[in-house]
């Protein structure tokens, strides 16, 4: 029986569209591909999520590999991608409904130490009972230990939790650790259907 609902953040609560973040800086073509690779798919990004690099340190490291004309863009992509926050349509309403139904709501996110700065600007954040962010524990999804840590921190039984993430690998990690899991593909109406299939009887849309 599902008693607790756990959400990812980027790609679930809010849009995390790397291509859009680069293009809104007026960058395209080869420079866009370079920034996609050297910023969002970099080791530095993983190390920020793990808490072993600050955002400033990561940006400085990345800048050593890219042309000077892109240094300002690197700093903005690392430290200002969240301006503005772009909520996923319909997600706040779903979470409010779950909260009204009595479900405790938790966050499990891979994110850097800046997460606390923008978390209050995410509209659905007010409904959450607790959160575990990767940088604070030195673990990242899909490491099994981070799922165990979340449940231990909040006293949750793993087989009573369903975890919602937009990344297949993170859901596989959740399954491996003993959680139920749902892959979110961007459509809240389909997520409602999947929650009902898991025994969480939210309204259909």
Q: What is the pLDDT along the chain (205 residues), one digit of tens a residue?
A: 999 999 999 999 999 999 999 999 999 999 999 999 999 999 999 999 999 999 999 999 999 999 999 999 999 999 999 999 999 999 999 999 999 999 999 999 999 999 999 999 999 999 999 999 999 999 999 999 999 999 999 999 999 999 999 999 999 999 999 999 999 999 999 999 999 999 998 887 7
Burial 169-204 (b: 16+ CB within 10 A, else e): ebbebbeebebbbbbbeeebeebbebbeebebebee
Q: What residue spans define the domains of the chain?
A: 4-15+86-197, 18-79
Q: How far apart, in whole angstroms, are the C-alpha atoms of residue 178 and residue 185?
A: 22
According to the model, what pLDDT value does residue 200 have?
93
Distance from the Cα of residue 27 to its chain's centroid: 25
- Reported as a single tens digit per residue, the pLDDT across 147-199 is 999 999 999 999 999 999 999 999 999 999 999 999 999 999 999 999 999 99
According to the model, what pLDDT value does residue 84 have?
93
Q: Is the dihedral of CA 95, 185, 167, 11 positive or negative?
A: negative
According to the model, what pLDDT value does residue 204 have?
76
According to the model, what pLDDT value does residue 135 have?
97
Question: Can you read off the two tokens belonging to residue 48?
Answer: 């920020």
According to the model, what pLDDT value does residue 54 have?
95
Q: Three-state DSSP class for 110?
A: coil
Residues facing residue 139 across a β-bridge: none
CATH no., domain 4-15+86-197: 3.40.50.1000
């Amino acid at each position: 029986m599902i008693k607790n609902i756990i959400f990812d953040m980027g790609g679930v609560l809010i849009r995390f569209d790397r291509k859009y973040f680069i293009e809104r800086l007026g960058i395209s073509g080869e420079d866009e591909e370079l920034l996609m690779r050297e910023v969002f798919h970099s080791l530095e990004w993983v190390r920020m999520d793990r808490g072993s690099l600050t955002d400033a340190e990561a940006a400085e490291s990345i800048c050593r590999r890219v042309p000077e004309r892109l240094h300002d863009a690197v700093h903005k992509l690392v430290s200002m991608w969240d301006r503005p926050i772009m909520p996923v349509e319909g997600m706040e309403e779903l979470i409010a409904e779950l909260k009204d139904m009595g479900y405790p709501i938790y966050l499990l996110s891979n994110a850097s130490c800046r997460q606390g700065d923008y978390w209050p600007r995410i509209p659905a954040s007010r409904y959450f009972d607790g959160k575990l962010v990767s940088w604070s524990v030195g673990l990242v999804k899909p490491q099994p230990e981070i799922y165990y840590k979340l449940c231990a921190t909040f006293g949750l039984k793993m087989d009573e939790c369903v975890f919602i993430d937009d990344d297949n690998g993170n859901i596989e990690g959740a399954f491996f650790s003993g959680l139920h899991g749902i892959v979110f593909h961007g459509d809240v109406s389909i997520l409602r259907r999947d929650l009902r299939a898991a025994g969480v009887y939210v309204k259909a849309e």
